[in-house]
Amino acid sequence: MAYAASNQPGRMGHMPVTIKILIAGGFGVGKTTLVGSLTEIRPLRTEEPLSEPGAAVDRLDGVERKSTTTVALDFGRITIRENLVIYLFGTPGQERFWFMWDELARGALGAIVMADTRRLADCFPCVDYFEQRGIPFVVGVNCFDGARRYRPDAVRRALDLDPTVPVVLCDARQRASCRDALIALVEHALQVLRDRSDQAAAAPGAVPAGEPAPAAAPAGE
Amino acid sequence: MPSPDDHWLDEEAGPVVRPYALIRGRTRASGETLDLIAIITAVRGVEVDPSSLDPEHLAVLRLCRLPTSVAEIAADLDLPLGVVRILLGDLRERSLLAIHHPIPPARLPDVQILKEVVDGLRRL
């Protein structure tokens, strides 16, 4: 780990600041690839065994899934400086793992929602999720080989995004491209936090800025 | 008849002890839920009787000589998050860990820290 072994309470400069960013999107859209392109360590994976009576039918047609399964979380790390570290978490792609999201989303700075223009609808649930909870996000259009290129504006219209939500084109295999998407997200989150803190200042007694709305279970659980 | 010398259990067979057997079937950690990016550090200078702890507890303490996130502990020890949280809860109850909870973005002491993040990312 990158931290010095200093642990004195009350000294902000010595306290580790950890920032959680989610990489979301449909199954197979390139989330794990993006995490792998950005992480300074080998991509890590932790698995959580689950027993799921009544799990929703998996979309991999014809593949019977057992009712006990594991949900894998891919994650990576970027050290900005000592005591300032970003953790990237790839969210589970299948919708039956929605319940994991509330834990992942708690305290997250924001999310990159990855989109594949050939299957744009796959990222609708992610867009809805972050919109409903007021978590800042950008849409990263993963430019797959052979897929038709669309202008960001076309993707924005197709997803019916708020005009303030950035749409960036990226290649999940290219570190520089992923980094730019991440910068777009952090800058967007910064703006959102500032706007909210301005609004809170204008309306005293309002809910603290940036507090995610209480997590309601998404439909279909 | 297989003889007792037959090694029919190898790495391929998976863990001999199921993860939740390590924690005696418990599914909830004591205390509040630890965030994936909470930073855990083993408290120094505390005498621990190794025989009073399970090998997995000791592995956590070894790993956390340097501050380590909950997610990394799970990945490094190759244990499910739920199991790691219970192990951490046990160690916390015995005051063997310093836990640093992440600051929610809205409560960052200074939003400028995000400017620093952007500048840092640009240097990547």
Which of A65-69, A89-93, B36-40 has the largest mean confidence?
Answer: B36-40
Using a CB–CB cutoff of 8 Å, tell me whether B71 touches chain A.
Answer: yes
Beta-carbon separation of B36 and A193 below 8 A: no
Average pLDDT, chain B: 83
How many C-beta atoms surround the C-beta of residue B96 within 10 A? 18
Nearest to A87 among B37, B104, B115 (CB): B37
B3 in any annotated domain: no
B79 in any annotated domain: yes
pLDDT at residue A143 tops 90: no
Residues 6+ apart with CB under 8 A from B46: B95, B96
B4 in any annotated domain: no
Nearest to B80 among A48, A84, A175 (CB): A48
The residues facing A45 across adjacent strands are A74
For residues A111 and A19, the answer to whether their CB atoms sit within 8 Å is no
B83 in any annotated domain: yes
The residues facing A168 across adjacent strands are A140
Amino acid at residue number A220: G
Q: Does residue B72 sit in helix, strand or coil?
A: helix
- State residue A66's pLDDT score: 44
- State residue B88's pLDDT score: 96
Q: Which of residues 32-51 of B touch A (CB under 8 A)?
A: 33, 35-39, 41
How many C-beta atoms surround the C-beta of residue A139 within 10 A? 30
Q: Does residue B2 sit in helix, strand or coil?
A: coil
For residues B30 and B91, the answer to whether their CB atoms sit within 8 Å is no
Nearest to A88 by CA among B64, B121, B90: B121
Nearest to B66 among A3, A190, A196 (CB): A3
Q: What is the mean pLDDT of residues A142-165?
A: 88
For residues A135 and A110, the answer to whether their CB atoms sit within 8 Å is yes
Nearest to A46 among B35, B37, B74 (CB): B74
pLDDT at residue A135 tops 80: yes
The two three-digit tokens of residue B20, written as one number: 């939740």
Q: How far is CA B9 from CA A149, B13, B30, in A?
A: 52, 6, 34
Beta-carbon separation of A15 and B122 below 8 A: no
pLDDT at residue A187 tops 70: yes
Q: Higher confidence at residue A30 or residue A52?
A: A30
Spell out which residues of chain B touch residue A87, defining contact as CB-CB under 8 Å.
36-37, 69, 71
Beta-carbon separation of B117 and A179 below 8 A: no
B74 in any annotated domain: yes
Spell out which residues of chain A touch residue B102, defining contact as CB-CB under 8 Å.
17-20, 107
The residue range of the domain holding B21 is 11-122
B66 in any annotated domain: yes
Q: Which residues of B18-50 are buried (b: 16+ CB within 10 A; e: fewer)?
A: ebeebbeeeeebeeeebbbbbbbbbeeeeeeee
Spell out which residues of chain B touch residue A21, defining contact as CB-CB under 8 Å.
none
CA-nearest residue to A110 within chain B is B105
Q: Higher confidence at residue B112 or residue A156?
A: A156
For residues A120 and A53, the answer to whether their CB atoms sit within 8 Å is no
Phi and psi (nearest 5°) for B32? -75, 160
Spell out which residues of chain A touch residue B108, defining contact as CB-CB under 8 Å.
17, 193
Query: CATH assignment of A16-53+67-202, given 3.40.50.450, 3.40.50.300, 3.40.47.10, 3.90.1300.10?
Result: 3.40.50.300
Question: Rounded to an integer, what distance in angstroms lies between the CA atom of residue A45 and that of residue A184?
Answer: 26
Share of chain A above pLDDT 90, in %: 48
Bridge-based pairing of strands B97-100 and B39-42 is antiparallel
DSSP state of A99: H
Spell out which residues of chain A touch residue B67, defining contact as CB-CB under 8 Å.
1, 3, 5, 7, 16
Using a CB–CB cutoff of 8 Å, tell me whether B98 touches chain A.
Answer: yes
Nearest to A156 by CA among A184, A134, A127, A196: A127
Average pLDDT, chain A: 79
Q: With a cut of 0.90, is the ipTM above it?
A: no
- State residue A89's pLDDT score: 94
Which pLDDT band holds residue B117 (cuts at 50, 70, 90)?
very high
Which pLDDT band holds residue B121 (cuts at 50, 70, 90)?
very high
Using a CB–CB cutoff of 8 Å, tell me whether B67 touches chain A.
Answer: yes
B117 in any annotated domain: yes
Nearest to A197 by CA among A211, A186, A208, A213: A208
Beta-carbon separation of B111 and A190 below 8 A: yes
The two three-digit tokens of residue B50, written as one number: 């190794």
Beta-carbon separation of B114 and A189 below 8 A: yes
Amino acid at residue number B56: E
Using a CB–CB cutoff of 8 Å, tell me whether B17 touches chain A.
Answer: no
How many C-beta atoms surround the C-beta of residue A158 within 10 A? 14
Spell out which residues of chain B touch residue A49, defining contact as CB-CB under 8 Å.
19, 80, 82
Question: Rounded to an integer, what distance in angstroms lies between the CA atom of residue B72 and that of residue B63?
Answer: 10
Q: Beta-strand (E) ranges in A82-134?
A: 84-90, 110-115
Distance from CA of A53 to the nearest CA of B (A): 17
Domains of chain B: total = 1
B1 in any annotated domain: no
